[in-house]
């Protein structure tokens, strides 16, 4: 199954991207969490940033963080923030001060921190890239390596399941630890690939394992559903997340994919995603989905309606008519400022000074040849993308003050005015004065 050809591409919803210019510490975002107070925390290559809904605040080495290269971040049940760094150890922030734990001074097995979680007893579990797994109860450190039953000392992910078992994704498979014994799952047991990079347990109790080569599987009640490499994604899976609507999201190196009701939908940079390399996914209290990428953070709200005004680039707030062309571009006719054209990213204005007959536009249609037509107070304008042509009474219109336009199934342009209607077949204009039938002439 090629996920690029057999998935529906996402095109609706509102996207908002945050980058360094907006206050984010760095555009390279590796982790996201939703704090207990609803704030969004981001681990980046330039420090840790927190968003309160309006503004970003950043913590760096100047504030007490041991390194700005913040890889995994985690907030425990007491509200403390745990930050793993790459080769500098582990930091804990209580809201006022930072405390650092290193291999040299505190008992941590390795300074390369790759994963963080917390169990039901409040102990912290720290995965490292080379030093195995650590458990910290606030006083003592306990280390687990391949000598104790861990499949590999390079740990990619850690979760606690609903029964209190610890699941660990490693470079050589998955371990499950019940605080006494280690169970192991490898490719011989059903994993599609040995390097397990992401683990998630859904609300039905099933486990989802994502791998570094893009393949993944679902494990539930002893049964495996395998999606092999040629049936998975085109890039490695970085994170797996389930939202409040039971959709399962996969963040990959080639975009983000959502599975809902057995249907797939893909989102990439073309839809509004900041970058196709997605390392983190969370959902905020309003239901919006946030994605951490290599080029900023994207917030996606599928259920929201975006409002556009002059401040966004619209030519005028008084909009009379709207049309979407064959390429998906939105055209809006305004009361006083001509036509606004929106390609999904930028607004462009077409006005009387550029060839439009008048800036008051009541109608817009596109004919089957792709030519745009605009109904104005001084005639109907034809625009092929390069040249303008205006039609008024001398060209055959019954009246130049156009109030509405319509394209029928035969590619005829119908134009309504205050004096009646006119139809254009591409060559000739045919008049239709409604007063002849005893009906009002005005439209």
Domains of the chain, residue spans: 8-301, 310-437
Backbone angles phi, psi at 121, to 5 degrees: -90, 0
pLDDT tens sequence across 163-218: 999 999 999 999 999 999 999 999 999 899 999 999 999 999 999 999 999 999 99
For the entire predicted model, the pTM comes to 0.71
CA 316 vs. chain centroid, Å, equals 29
Task: Give the Å distances, CA to CA, from 413 to 39, 356, 387.
Answer: 53, 18, 19
pLDDT digits (tens, 9 = 90+) for 379-416: 889 898 888 999 888 888 888 888 888 887 777 888 88
Per-residue DSSP letters for 22-54? GT-S-S-EEEEEE-TTS-EEEEETTEEEEE-SS
Instruction: Give the span between the Cα atoms of 340 and 314, in whole angstroms.
Output: 6
Cβ-based burial of 379 (10 A; exposed 0-12, middle 13-18, buried ≥19)? buried
Which H helix or E strand runs over 193? none
Calculate the CA dihedral of residues 148, 150, 156, 161 and round it to 10 degrees: -100
Intrachain domains 8-301 and 310-437 with the same fold: yes
Written as six digits, the tokens of 398 are 């019954």
User: What kind of fold does domain 8-301 have according to CATH?
Assistant: Methylamine Dehydrogenase; Chain H (2.130.10)
254 neighbors 271 (Cβ within 8 angstroms) = no
The residue behind tokens 């394209």 is 407
Is 421 strand, coil or helix? strand
Contact 1, 263 (CB under 8 A): no
Say what the pLDDT of residue 432 is: 63
Class of domain 310-437 as given by CATH: mainly beta
Overall size of the chain counted in residues: 443
In which residue ranges of the chain is pLDDT below 70? 1-12, 228-232, 303-307, 432-443
């Amino acid at each position: 199954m090629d996920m690029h050809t057999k998935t529906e591409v996402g095109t609706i919803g509102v996207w908002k991207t945050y980058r360094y210019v907006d206050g984010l510490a760095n555009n390279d975002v590796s982790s996201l969490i939703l704090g207990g107070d609803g704030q969004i925390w981001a681990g980046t290559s330039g420090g840790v940033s927190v968003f309160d809904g309006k503004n970003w605040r950043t913590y760096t080495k100047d504030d007490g963080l041991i390194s700005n290269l913040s890889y995994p971040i985690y907030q425990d049940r007491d509200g403390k923030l745990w930050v793993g760094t790459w080769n500098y150890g582990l930091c804990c922030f209580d809201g006022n001060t930072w405390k650092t734990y290193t291999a040299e001074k505190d008992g941590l097995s390795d300074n390369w921190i790759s994963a963080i979680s917390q169990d039901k007893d409040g102990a912290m579990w720290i995965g490292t890239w080379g030093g195995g797994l650590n458990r910290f109860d606030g006083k003592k450190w306990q280390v687990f390596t391949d000598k104790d039953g861990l499949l590999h000392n390079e740990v990619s992910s850690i979760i606690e399941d609903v029964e209190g078992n610890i699941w660990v994704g490693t470079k050589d498979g998955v371990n499950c630890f019940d605080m006494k014994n280690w169970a192991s799952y490898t490719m011989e047991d059903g994993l599609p690939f040995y390097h397990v990079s992401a683990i998630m347990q859904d609300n039905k109790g099933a486990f989802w394992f994502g791998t570094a080569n893009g393949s993944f599987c679902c494990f539930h009640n002893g049964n495996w559903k395998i999606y092999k490499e040629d049936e998975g994604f085109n890039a490695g899976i970085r994170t797996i997340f389930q939202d409040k609507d039971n959709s399962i999201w996969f963040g990959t190196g080639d975009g983000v994919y959502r599975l809902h009701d057995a249907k797939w939908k893909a989102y990439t940079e073309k839809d509004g995603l900041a970058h196709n390399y997605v390392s983190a996914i969370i959902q905020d209290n309003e239901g919006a989905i946030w994605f951490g990428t290599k080029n900023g953070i994207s917030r996606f709200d599928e259920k929201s309606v975006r409002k556009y005004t002059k401040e966004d680039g619209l030519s005028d707030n008084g909009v009379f008519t709207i049309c979407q062309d064959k390429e998906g571009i939105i055209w809006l006719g305004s009361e006083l400022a001509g036509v606004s054209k929106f390609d999904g990213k930028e607004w462009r204005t077409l006005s009387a000074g550029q060839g439009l007959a008048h800036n008051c536009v009541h109608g817009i249609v596109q004919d089957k040849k792709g030519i745009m037509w605009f109904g104005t107070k001084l005639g109907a304008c034809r625009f092929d993308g390069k040249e303008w042509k205006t039609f008024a009474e001398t060209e055959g219109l019954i009246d130049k003050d156009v109030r509405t336009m319509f394209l029928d199934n035969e590619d005829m342009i119908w134009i309504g005015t205050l004096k009646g209607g006119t139809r254009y077949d591409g060559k000739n204009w045919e008049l239709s004065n409604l007063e002849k039938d005893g009906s009002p002439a005005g439209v």
